Structure 1
Amino acid sequence: MDLARLRNFGIVAHIDAGKTTVSERILFYTGIEHRMGEVHDGTATLDWMEQERERGITITAAVTACDWREHHLQLIDTPGHVDFTVEVERSLRVLDGAVVVVDAVAGVQPQTETVLRQAKRHQVPLIFLINKMDRLGADYEAAVASVQERLGVLAVPVQLPRGEGESFAGVYDLLREESLDWTDELGRELVRGPIPEEDRARVAEARDQLCSRVAELDEAWADRYLEQGRLTADELRAAIREAVQARRMAPVLAGAALRNKGIQPVLDAVVDWLPSPLERPPVRGERADGSAAEREPREDEPLTALVFKIYHESFGDLHFARVFAGRLRTGAKLVVARTGRKERVGRLLRIHADDRTAIEEAGPGEIVAISGLKFAATGDTLCEPGSELALEGMEFPQPVLRVTVEPREPGGAEALLQALACLDREDPTLQTELDEESGQHILAGMGELHLEVVLRRLEKEFGVDARIGAPQVSYREALTRAVTAVGAAEWPVEDQLQRVEAQVELRPVESAGVLLRVRPELLEGLGLRAQEFPLDLLRGESGAWGLPLTGVEVELQALRVAGEAQPPASAALGALTRALRLGLEGATEVQEPWMDLVVRAPESATSAVIADLNSRHAEIRAVDPAAGEIRARAPLAEMFAYSTHLRSQTQGKGEFSMQLGGYAAPQGARKTELSAKLGISDRESERGP
């Protein structure tokens, strides 16, 4: 495969912005599909899961590929609902660019903001499509302004719409100064023509602004613009490519995917402006000895492939991976860099939604599915034996909602646990645990819809009929300050007990879970290997109050042994765990999830909505009565059944969206209520001074 002609990109958006409709048109116009799939009637190719077609939303990231202008495009269509944002996170980790779809009426929405944060974290170049230009209330300028103001992106139009709402008829190409029209019902015939007299001045002004914006970003282009007074279409195309790949600007296009207008120019933009794997920085990772190294996207480099998704099927798990370097072959022996576990490739598969085609090998830049792997998890790096390089893993948000789950039929517990274990491997934001006090199994996820989908999958895919309890908030414990602690463990040697001590420093960090940092030389002197101390060893640890522990970095500072005997890994790990428990005593606080809210309601209902939010202990961040928008932050525990309440308050005209904004310790009366609920007050007194 010619890497210069390869584009790996995703389609991302807030829910209902038309993202999957855009993807379906791409498949149709590139000839991959011979019929046009529609989300609203359940025929979308990329929404292949039964629940996706029933609900009319994307739940899981779908992988496909197509060709356009002699380029090979690998596309991932991602969910827009906040409960499934993990699918966007892990997709962006293996993509070289993204098309962000924005609703022309609503402008930037909360999940759009989340997607942009994820894209910035992974340094993914972007193109924007202002979609639904045919809808009543569509406003191209306002939508572009919302991208610039709320996302902090230099969004520069490269097209202007020909009309808005019902009068939307096509677009003006600012680079070539042409009118683009779609003359047939299916939008296959793209006709280029002159710009009508009445719009020439508007187009000329917009083109001048485009040239000026591009020139401001690069001195060489600025000199050429000043010399010539304008930039040609080819010069603009080249300048925009440089700016997009440097993430200094994002071009903006217009369209109406449901009306089959504006999609071919999006494909042109992907080819012209998003980078190939050769134009992305080399991947960086850590060798087994702790040293850093890079890998280029070349076939003669050692194999380096990142697992970004796992999907369970009846014959076993499928591991989706991107090859960053080297070649991946059917039957190859591999090593999981993080753990040192050995794997063997069963089959390699090319993916198109839920269709699979067997292939013999894959090279740099290719996205494939692998069958036969047993130990690799999401975020793991697959390597050749002897050339291990662990790429940076992935961080996922912790669950915010939990329910009890149990089988309806007697004797169904084993089948339920096996099914949940499969789903746990698939979804890093889904967690199951056993409540030791009640004996009940707890299922935790990102929201009510997330848990509903899991329940249906248990029934439909695994044949497990389960019932769940009422949703409850998932609280957690976090470290409040840096702490140093020493823990010890003993092991028998010739009828005597030997002792090993571990000294650790615990530090609060922003990442989820508990991360362990170990210097390899600290272990080598005792005959231990770094692989025996996996970074996520302590991820499932609970805090001093028995709640999930998160946001803690544990650095192993010293391992001391009394005597000459070398400790087994189990003893060293025991000392480490003991040090962790001692360090946590008195150094954690209970935190609850707070949600970022955007409420839209008629202006006449604004005061009532704000008063209600205040009663729920919300913090009002911004109010725009003219736009009917209220931005707030509220504890998740106060937001159950809010949708029904809001509809009642606004006579059915209100709507809202919310997503996890972070965790915080409750204050005042809420702290007292929560302490009583969790039994912390009683347990605090038991601990003593």
Structure 2
Amino acid sequence: MNKVLATMIITRFRKLVNPASYRFCRAFLSDIRHHQEVRNVEDIRNIGISAHIDSGKTTLTERLLFYSGRIDEMHEVKGKDKVGAVMDSMELERERGITIQSAATYVLWKSKNINIIDTPGHVDFTVEVERALRVLDGAILVLCGVGGVQAQTFTVTRQMARYSVPCIAFINKLDRKGADPHRVLNQMKEKLHFTAALTQIPIGIEDNLKGIIDLIDEKAIYFDGPHGEKVRHDEIPKDMRAEAVDRRQELVECISNVDDVLGEMFLEDKTPNNQDIKAAIRRNCISRKFIPVLVGSALKNKGVQPLMDSVISYLPNPAEVENFAFKESDDGSEPSKVILSPARDKSSPFVGLAFKMEQTRFGQLTYIRTYQGSVSKGDIIWNARTGRKIKIPRLARMHSNNMEDISEAYAGDICAFFGSQIIYGINSCTRSCYLDVCKDPTFHYTWDSDSKEMIVSGMGELHLEIYGQRMANEYDCPVELGKPKVAFRETLTAPCKFDYFHKKQSGGAGQYGRVVGILEPIPSPRNTELIFSPEIVGNNIPKQFLPSIERGFRMMCEKGHLSGNKIRGIKFRLKDGQSHSVDSNDIAFACAAVGAIKQVQKLGRWHIIEPIMKLEVTVPYEFSGPAIAAICKRSGVIVNTEEASGYMAVSAEAPLNDMFGFTTELRTLSQGKGEFTMEFSKYAPVRGDVQQQLTSGYKDDNPDSHLERNIIL
């Protein structure tokens, strides 16, 4: 439908019908526009919105959808009006006011199709950012006008660099008290080492934010209307003309330092026109040599439309990004590298990458980015990882959690397969190629046979808490989350002799067996082992009964008498014994070994040992003091410290029982910049207060722990 005609229809309906009917008409016409097929790859942009948590990413996306006509009303992120932002479709996201999982949508802006992925900002969900950036051609880096460059900003910029994703920056929240775009720009240069310059400056700041000044076109831009939907261009205010001239000169000089064409014009004292500047920004933005910085406030509806214009002007289309795959060879040699064609036609074989899979109310949904060729509903594609063929029963484009069926997708599109049995890590094509990835690799679960618990691990406490709530809400499977049990062990502190005689007679063949020897501790690092050592001279105990003695010994070591934990780090030295030609049997000698252990439990000196972990903590040097203090507070012992490139690496050893919650504490004290790794080192005796707590708790929970246990052979 012609755009002018659509505008006329909307205007006429606004005058003639009630607001609800008008909104329906507007949404209907929007759907017509968005279902128009984009045939040219130059008219496509695939972008992501990334930032530190609470920088305004989802609010910005809500404005992008509204101004493009994709949605008819804007809503608050935290869902105070019981609706919430479109891209935060999960109930948990609306309750907490944060983005938990990435969500895809698309808009049509000035005849250009922009596929958008809104990503989380919390570090616990950074894998969502990782797999989104892998399939995107460009990104918007959102920075808070008050907070500036924050912890997660470093992470997302490293991810962009890893996948060579060019970006433009948007300094948001300039309506807040303490906002300063020039300070944020300096932080980008000093902390992120960006070559960046402002392409816009705000008219006013904080409560006085009125609009922005475009330094390239040298125009003031105001956003009128109840929602800032009417963009008005005007002359630059007189009191800001001098600043605008200076900032424009800074912009030109900054670009000239990285662009040869503009650099030559600068040296020859030639004045570049607006098109020269924009072309230079685009060239160097795509090559990641320069980052244009825009300003505004998404919440106050200022600066969003020029940002969308900059996405089209400066970020690349799929044809300007080189993508490749590896083609298998028939002779078994190394795969060959193949450059993928971005042409939007059916002449090339289809190649796509599934980058995310989720379980929705419709069933399994797999997000895929097409890189070459086309795929249609009903097509059969090839999974290069499994070597299996897959039929595509349904193809859709995603708008948050809503699906819109499409008949086919071409190179450069981001779509979803629905209803096909696609496994994690799909690599789809019509010819073999190697591509990778899919499920959340930061969430793991294992069954711990020692504690009889399911152990889950993730990026942090929030990550695990969210997964627990999702299992209860989405799958009707409530779970109890708690601190994992530490694998404590019990062992001897000194050797102890044993001499136990087991005799039982109840008519007929009886039971007769005697064992004599020493139970002694095994020093570290072998104090996690159990050793059975038969040292008998002669035939007082026939050899066929030795396995039964060892079996009784090991069975008793499965549960200690102090805390109920396993007994480890002891050696059973069998020195002597007695047997009977008729009454001695396997069960008699197994019972004799059990009695020997119980005898040593009464006579010997026992203590509890715990796992000691080796830590490697890395923090910026200015946070090294608090980091070392946090380790010492957790009974850690500092082994070594090294300083390099402004960071302090601390090597230490600390009990595992004291390390729970250290991730959150380290992030807090280091502004999210600290990292650490932890691995098992050894077992060592616990502190006296810990042993007292463990033994008291065990006796309270198991009042009958002193009773004999049945022997199962």
Letter in 2 for 1:50: E
Letter in 1 for 2:433: L
Q: Give the distance between the partners of 2:479 and 2:273, measured in 1 at CA.
A: 64
Tell me the amino acid that sits aligned with residue 450 of structure 1: H
Say whether 1:30 aligns with 2:75: no
Q: Structure 1 residues 206 and 53 mapped into 2: Cα distance closer, same or farther (>3 Å)?
A: same
C-alpha separation in 2, matches of 1:138 and 1:620: 37
**Which moves more between the two structures, 343-352 or 369-378?**
369-378
Aligned AA for 1:383?
C
Q: Deviations over 1:365-400 (max 9, x none)?
A: 00011023324314x31011xx11113x34xxxxxx
Structure 2 CA distance, aligned partners of 1:665 and 1:640?
14
Is the contact between residue 666 and residue 674 of structure 2 (CA under 8 Å) also seen in structure 1?
no
Shift of 1:340: 1.0
1:359 aligned to 2:406?
Answer: yes
Choose from 249, 253, 260 the match for 2:290. Answer: 249
**1:2 to 2:46 alignment:** no
- Name the CA distance, whole Å, in 2 between partners of 1:663 and 1:607: 18
CA-to-aligned-CA distance 1:62-93 (integer Å, 9 cap, x gap):
10000111111000000000010000000001
> Which residue pairs with 2:156 in the alignment?
115
The offset of 1:329, in angstroms, is 1.4
CA separation in 2, counterparts of 1:345 and 1:208? Answer: 54
Structure 2 match to 1:295: 340
Give the letter aligned to residue 37 of structure 1. Answer: H
One of 298, 314, 319 as aligned partner of 1:278: 319
Q: How does 1:41-80 map to 2 (within 5 A)?
A: 41=79, 43-80=84-121
Mapped partners of 2:477, 2:68: distance in 1: 40
Change (3 A) 1:94 1:159: same
CA deviation map 1:267-318 (0-9, x unaligned): 0110000000011013232425432222111332211010000011244310
The verdict on how the C-alpha distance between 1:609 and 1:661 changes in structure 2, with shifts beyond 3 A counting, is closer
Aligned partners of 1:620, 1:375: CA distance in 2, in Å? 47
Give the Å deviation of 1:231: 1.6
1:132 aligned to which of 173, 180, 197: 173
More moved, 22-31 vs 459-468: 459-468
State which of 367, 382, 391 in structure 1 corresponds to 2:428. 382
Name the residue aligned to 1:661.
675
For normalisation by structure 2, the TM-score amounts to: 0.66
Cα distance, 1:434 vs structure 2: 2.0
Q: 1-side partners of 2:403 and 2:617: how far apart?
A: 41
Q: Give the secondary structure class of the aligned counterpart of 1:28.
A: helix
Q: Give the letter aligned to residue 133 of structure 2.
A: L
Residue 312 of structure 1 contacts residue 426 of structure 1 at CA under 8 Å; is this kept in 2?
Answer: no
Contact 2:45 2:137 in 1 (8 A): yes
Task: Look up the match of 1:572.
Answer: none
Distance 1:608 1:389, change over 3 A: closer
1:105 maps to a residue whose letter is V
RMSD: 3.4
In the TM superposition, residue 213 of structure 1 has moved relative to its aligned partner by: 1.6
Contact 1:643 1:655 in 2 (8 A): no
Q: In the alignment, does 2:444 pair up with 1:434?
A: no
Contact 2:78 2:95 in 1 (8 A): no
* Residue identity (%): 36
d(CA) in 1 for partners of 2:685, 2:311: 53
Q: CA deviation at 1:599?
A: 10
> 1:460 & 1:597 partners in 2: Cα distance?
40
Letter in 1 for 2:446: E
Question: Which protein shows a greater Rg?
Answer: 2
Structure 2 letter corresponding to 1:74: N
Alpha-carbon distance, 1:124 to partner: 0.3
Residue 101 of structure 1 contacts residue 131 of structure 1 at CA under 8 Å; is this kept in 2?
yes
Deviations 1:116-164 (A, max 9, x none): 0000000000100011111111111110111111112111111112222
Q: 1:591: how far off?
A: 5.9
Q: CA deviation at 1:18?
A: 0.7
Q: Which moved more, 1:353-362 or 1:270-279?
A: 353-362
TM-score, length of structure 1 as denominator length: 0.68
Structure 2 counterpart of 1:205, which letter? D
Correspondence 1:147-546 to 2 at 5 A = 147-227=188-268, 229-287=270-328, 289=332, 290-292=334-336, 293-298=338-343, 299=345, 300-378=347-425, 380-384=426-430, 387-391=431-435, 393-394=436-437, 426-470=439-483
Residue equivalent to 1:412: none
Residue 227 of structure 1 deviates from its aligned partner by 4.1
Partner of residue 77 from structure 2, selected from 19, 34, 39: 39
Alpha-carbon separation, structure 2, partners of 1:610 and 1:440: 32
How has the CA–CA distance of structure 1 residues 225 and 107 changed in structure 2, closer, same or farther, with 3 Å as cutoff? same
Structure 1 CA distance for aligned equivalents of residues 122 and 486 of structure 2: 19
Q: Any gaps of 5 or more consecutive residues in structure 1? A: 395-424, 475-588, 601-605, 625-629, 648-653, 678-689
Tell me, in whole angstroms, the C-alpha distance in 1 between the residues paired with 2:686 and 2:162.
39
- The amino acid across from 2:200 in the alignment is Q
Matched AA of 1:258 = L
Helix, strand or coil: the match of 1:390? Answer: coil
**Preserved contact between residue 599 and residue 655 of structure 1 (Cα < 8 Å):** no
> What is the Cα deviation at residue 333 of structure 1?
1.4
Q: Provide the residue aligned with 1:106 in structure 2.
A: 147
Deviation at residue 171 of structure 1 after TM alignment: 1.4
The CA deviation string for residues 311-358 of structure 1, in whole angstroms up to 9 with x for no partner, is 112443100000000111112112211221222212111100011011
User: Equivalent residue for 1:569?
Assistant: none
Letter in 2 for 1:120: A
* Structure 2 Cα separation of the partners of residues 39 and 593 of structure 1: 38
1:191 maps to a residue whose letter is: R
| Deviation of the 1:639 alpha carbon | 6.6
Letter in 1 for 2:349: P
Partner residue of 1:17?
55
User: How far is the alpha carbon of 1:468 from its aligned partner?
Assistant: 2.2
Residue 225 of structure 1, CA deviation = 3.3
Tell me: CA distance 1:643–1:276, structure 2 relative to 1, closer, same or farther (3 Å): closer
What is the aligned length?
509
Which amino acid in the other structure matches residue 388 of structure 1?
S
User: How is 1:549-560 mapped onto 2 (pairs within 5 angstroms)?
Assistant: none
Aligned-partner SS, 1:441: strand
- Does the aligned pair in 2 maintain the 1:129–1:252 contact within 8 Å? yes
User: Aligned runs of 1:599-610 on 2, under 5 Å?
Assistant: none
Cα distance, 1:185 vs structure 2: 3.2
C-alpha spacing 1:455/1:28, structure 2 compared with 1 (3 Å): same
Measured after TM superposition, the shift of residue 196 of structure 1 is: 1.8
CA separation of 1:155/1:633 partners in 2, compared to 1, >3 Å: closer, same or farther?
farther
Partner of residue 7, structure 2: none
Structure 2 contact 619–648 (Cα < 8 Å) conserved: yes
